């Protein structure tokens, strides 16, 4: 019934202060206050309706996204929202759009790789959205291998310009979000050619469309690459294709913080690592880790609430059937994902600190932690997105048949999230970067260079010092095993950051105890999953392994009465969750039934096509039957 909280009894079981846990999840009282205010602003505004998304044809869907982005920008300016509040508003609008790349990559690229003068020129235009930008790096033929990009930027000393060109079909820019139909400018990655010499990949600001009539400029061919996975989902984004036919740009539109080209055509590489040209990707990877905890917690919130509502089997003498959340199999699938959501939240907080620390060090030309920052952002982006994508799908399965309905919110959540395993770096390619970093660390053990930070534990690998094996030779052959080692390294980082979080002062009755239980579930479920490795290497005895499994089951029982309160602490509105199964009040069946009749297919009791295609069949059958 309306107005009844079908999960009230579950909420009464909580053994901790949920309001205090909301602050832990939000990161601070201030963050919680801003989140509450902006989430309500969006949820209460019918302009941000999103329950129709999976039913709109692509052109209508896309136009609707443009409308929402424009309306959001209007509200941001009307309400004079801060950058923090504006970012929260775009988060709660919950719709992938060109603005993600404008604010999430185009502006950071200029901030990270533009000179002060270039920032002064371009950032004010971008902040006021007088230009709209995207990040055009990937090509039809190359995405992972950035050094293999083919677009060229050839310096012309006669005119003090770069000539941007797409020499081959495979050099066509392909995938950049916001590129296809909206962006007026792009930070474009191209091979810098001076006097016939190839200086490798650099970033250039290129205008793509007229600011008068939005038509592509001369030499520019640009469009959308077509429909992507799932209804709605990422089809609100115009991922584009872009070709250059000898497009000329002024020399001062090469991003020149890391390296410069003088008026005379002299190439100057500042004494900084060339990899700083990848800085925007490192920034986005650490953002993606924070995003993973948001997406995973949304799916877990839906699956947990529905698992408490759903009853199946187990009725005694006509009494109520068993809540599926009480089945140990349901708990063993669901609670590790609940624990992972919290674990990723905390490792995301730490990674943001690491990234900020590295950026401060770069200001002082201290590059000592850049390799670790690259390895951590690459590895944790890979780990958290893989677990989250698989976790959203598992949450769909945890909801049985109703999880497959669009009104569960889970199919679209999966479809919009799953490319995170690919964009910003294919997850395996990134894990190979971590493996390379770990093997480099191993090769330095015994040379007096003690590992520190997240690899300090490797200093204790004494036996490797004797092997002195040729790490390079075996890398390709053993890459699959090395990727597994890279995953384990990243899982160790997540566990250690969860433990460090627990060593902080965490206010609120029972809050720390719940987080300790979740931390235990996180590492014991990993130990259970990989117990073969621990047993094979004698790090665990069979008895210890059995004890760990017993402890894991005990923790499931400890978390069970708190499960609903632990997902309430995510503080997601019904609008944001957009899921009948995940409703705060648990009023699932009446709302599922109500929603079904709103489907356009039910606008008529006899479907379009009956008279043309079904009736003749039936009549034919009837005729045959009479023969």
Ligand X SMILES: CCCCCCCC(=O)SCCNC(=O)CCNC(=O)[C@H](O)C(C)(C)COP(=O)(O)OP(=O)(O)OC[C@H]1O[C@@H](n2cnc3c(N)ncnc32)[C@H](O)[C@@H]1OP(=O)(O)O
Ligand Y SMILES: Cc1cc2nc3c(=O)[nH]c(=O)nc-3n(C[C@H](O)[C@H](O)[C@H](O)COP(=O)(O)OP(=O)(O)OC[C@H]3O[C@@H](n4cnc5c(N)ncnc54)[C@H](O)[C@@H]3O)c2cc1C
Q: How many helices (H) and strands (E) does the chain have?
A: 23, 11
Nearest approach, Cβ of residue 147 and ligand Y (Å): 12
Give the per-residue contact string, 170-209, with ligand X (x = CB under 6 A; - = no).
-------x--------------------------------
- 423 φ, ψ to 5°? -70, 160
Residue 123 partner contact from ligand X, ligand Y, none using kind-dependent CB cut-offs of 5 to 8 Å: none
In the bound complex, what is the minimum distance in angstroms from residue 404's beta carbon to ligand Y?
23
Segment interacting with ligand Y, rule: CB under 6 A, options 35-43, 171-179, 192-200, 558-566: 171-179
203 binding ligand Y? (CB under 6 A)? no
Choosing from 10, 394, 424, 462, the catalytic residue is: 424
Task: Give, as ranges, the residues between 361 and 420 that touch ligand X (CB under 6 A).
Answer: 370-371, 374
Binding at 371: pick from ligand Y, ligand X, none (beta carbon under 5-8 Å per type): ligand X
Alpha-carbon distance of 616 to 618, in angstroms, equals: 6
Taking the complex as a whole, the smallest distance from the CB of residue 620 to ligand X amounts, in Å, to 53
Q: Helices in 478-614 by DSSP H: which ranges?
A: 479-502, 511-529, 531-536, 542-559, 563-568, 574-577, 588-596
Q: Following CA atoms 354, 355, 360, 364 in sequence, which dihedral angle do they give, to the nearest 10 degrees?
A: 90
283 lies in the binding site for ligand Y (CB under 6 A):
no
The closest of 468, 607, 509 to 23, measured between CA atoms, is: 509
Q: Which residues contact 593 (CB under 8 A, 6 or more apart)?
A: none
Q: Which two tokens stand for residue 474?
A: 């075996």
Buried b vs exposed e over 27-36: b needs ≥16 C-beta within 10 Å? beeeebebbe
Q: For the chain, what percentages of helix, strand and coil (3-state, to nearest 5) are there?
A: 60, 10, 30
Residue 322 DSSP SS3: coil
Q: Considering CB distances under 5 to 8 angstroms, the limit depending on partner class, which of ligand Y, ligand X, none binds residue 281?
A: ligand X
By the rule CB under 6 A, 359 interacts with ligand X: no
Please give the torsion angle defined by the CA atoms of residues 407, 410, 415 and 418, in that order, rounded to the nearest 10 degrees: 170
Distance, in Å, from the CA atom of 417 to the CA atom of 389, rounded to the nearest integer, reads 7
Considering the rule CB under 6 A, would residue 104 count as an interface residue with ligand X? yes
Task: State the nearest-atom distance from the C-beta of 143 to ligand X, in Å.
Answer: 6
Verify binding: residue 436, ligand X, rule CB under 6 A.
Answer: yes
Instruction: By CB under 6 A, tell whether 562 contacts ligand X.
Output: no
Query: CB of 95 within 8 A of CB of 65?
Result: yes
Binding mask 135-154 for ligand X (x = CB under 6 A): x-xx----xxxxx-------
Closest separation in Å from C-beta 146 to ligand Y: 9
424 binds ligand X (CB under 6 A): yes
Asked if residue 440 binds ligand X (CB under 6 A), the reply is yes
Q: Is 424 marked active-site? A: yes
Residues engaged in binding ligand X (CB under 6 A): 100, 104, 135, 137-138, 143-147, 177, 275, 278, 281-282, 284, 370-371, 374, 423-425, 429, 433, 436-437, 440
Q: Which residues are catalytic?
A: 424
Residues engaged in binding ligand Y (CB under 6 A): 101, 135-138, 143-144, 175-177, 234, 239, 419, 422-423, 425-426, 428-429, 432
């Amino acid at each position: 019934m309306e107005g009844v909280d079908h999960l009230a009894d579950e909420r009464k079981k909580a053994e901790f202060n949920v309001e205090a846990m909301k602050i832990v999840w939000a990161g601070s009282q201030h963050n919680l206050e801003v989140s509450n205010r902006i989430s309500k602003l969006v949820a209460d505004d019918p302009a941000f309706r999103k329950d129709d998304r999976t039913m709109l044809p692509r052109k209508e869907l896309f136009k609707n996204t443009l409308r929402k982005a424009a309306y959001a920008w209007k509200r941001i300016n009307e309400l004079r929202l801060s950058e923090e509040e504006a970012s929260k508003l775009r988060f709660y609008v919950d719709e992938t759009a060109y603005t993600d790349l404008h604010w999430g990559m185009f502006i950071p690229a200029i901030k990270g790789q533009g000179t002060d003068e270039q920032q002064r020129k371009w950032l004010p235009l971008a902040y006021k959205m007088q230009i709209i930008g995207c990040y055009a790096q990937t090509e039809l033929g190359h995405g992972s291998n950035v050094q293999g990009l083919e677009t060229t930027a050839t310096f012309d000393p006669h005119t003090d310009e770069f000539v941007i060109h797409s020499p081959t079909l495979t050099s066509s820019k392909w995938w950049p979000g916001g590129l296809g139909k909206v962006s007026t400018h792009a930070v474009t990655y191209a091979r810098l050619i001076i006097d016939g010499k190839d200086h490798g990949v650099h970033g250039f600001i290129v205008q793509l469309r007229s600011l008068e009539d939005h038509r592509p400029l001369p030499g520019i061919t640009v469009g959308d690459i077509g429909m992507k996975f799932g209804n709605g989902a990422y089809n609100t984004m115009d991922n584009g294709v872009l070709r250059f036919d000898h497009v000329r740009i002024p020399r001062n539109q090469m991003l020149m913080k890391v390296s410069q080209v003088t008026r005379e055509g002299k190439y100057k590489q500042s004494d900084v690592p060339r990899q700083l040209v990848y800085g925007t990707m490192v920034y986005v990877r650490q953002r993606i880790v924070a995003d993973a905890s948001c997406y995973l917690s949304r799916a877990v919130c839906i699956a947990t609430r529905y698992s408490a509502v759903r009853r199946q089997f187990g009725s005694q003498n006509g009494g109520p059937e068993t809540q599926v959340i009480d089945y140990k199999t349901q708990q063993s699938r669901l609670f590790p994902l609940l624990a992972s959501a919290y674990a990723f939240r905390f490792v995301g907080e730490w990674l943001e600190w690491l990234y900020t620390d590295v950026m401060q060090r770069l200001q002082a030309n201290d590059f000592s932690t850049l390799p670790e920052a690259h390895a951590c952002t690459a590895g944790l982006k890979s780990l958290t997105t893989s677990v989250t994508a698989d976790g959203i799908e598992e949450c769909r399965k945890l909801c049985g048949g109703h999880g497959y309905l669009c009104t569960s919110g889970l199919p679209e959540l999966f479809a919009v999230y799953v490319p995170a395993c690919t964009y910003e770096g294919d997850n395996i390619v990134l894990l190979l970067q971590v493996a390379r970093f770990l093997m480099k660390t191993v090769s330095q053990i015994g040379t007096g260079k003690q590992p520190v930070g997240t690899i300090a534990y490797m200093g204790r690998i004494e036996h490797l010092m004797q092997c002195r094996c040729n790490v390079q030779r075996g890398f390709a052959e053993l890459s699959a095993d090395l990727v597994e080692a890279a995953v384990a390294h990243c899982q160790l980082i997540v566990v250690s950051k969860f433990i460090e979080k627990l060593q902080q002062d965490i206010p609120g009755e029972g809050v720390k105890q719940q987080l300790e239980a979740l931390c235990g579930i996180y590492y014991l479920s990993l130990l259970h999953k990989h117990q073969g490795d621990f047993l094979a290497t004698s790090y665990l005895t069979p008895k210890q392994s059995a004890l760990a499994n017993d402890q894991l089951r005990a923790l499931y029982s400890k978390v069970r009465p708190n499960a609903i309160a632990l997902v309430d602490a995510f503080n997601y509105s019904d609008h944001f969750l957009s899921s009948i199964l995940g409703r705060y009040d648990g009023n699932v069946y009446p709302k599922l039934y109500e929603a079904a009749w709103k489907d356009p297919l039910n606008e008529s009791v006899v479907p379009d096509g009956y008279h043309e295609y079904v009736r003749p069949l039936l009549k034919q059958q009837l005729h045959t039957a009479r023969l």
